Amino acid sequence: MQTVFRGRHFITLQDYTNEEIETMLDVSYDLKRKFAMGIDTPYLPHKTMFLMFFEQSTRTRNSMEAGIAQLGG
């Protein structure tokens, strides 16, 4: 089965199969490894991200902004 994430939103794990969750974890591990090795990961070049938080959380906002920047957004 090929996993397709384009156009899907991540709201809850219940929306994804176990295989899709495993794929997300594998991709996350690979991105973290590449970043630690200094390898560019420009998967979001020239993209604008919009973050919406319903509760104030500076740590969460900052970590999301850092992740987006690492991906080239």
Tell me the whole-structure pTM to 2 decimals: 0.67
Q: Say what the alpha-carbon torsion angle 51, 11, 63, 53 is, to the nearest 10 degrees.
A: 40
pLDDT in tens, 37-57: 999 888 888 888 888 878 887
Asked if 32 contacts 24 with a C-beta cutoff of 8 angstroms, the reply is no
Say which amino acid occupies 2: Q
Task: Chunk the chain into consecutive blocks of 10 residues (it has 73) and report each block's average pLDDT, rounded to whole numbers.
Answer: 78 92 93 92 85 81 86 84
Asked if 72 contacts 45 with a C-beta cutoff of 8 angstroms, the reply is yes
User: Helix, strand, or coil here: 52?
Assistant: coil
Identify the H or E element spanning 40. none
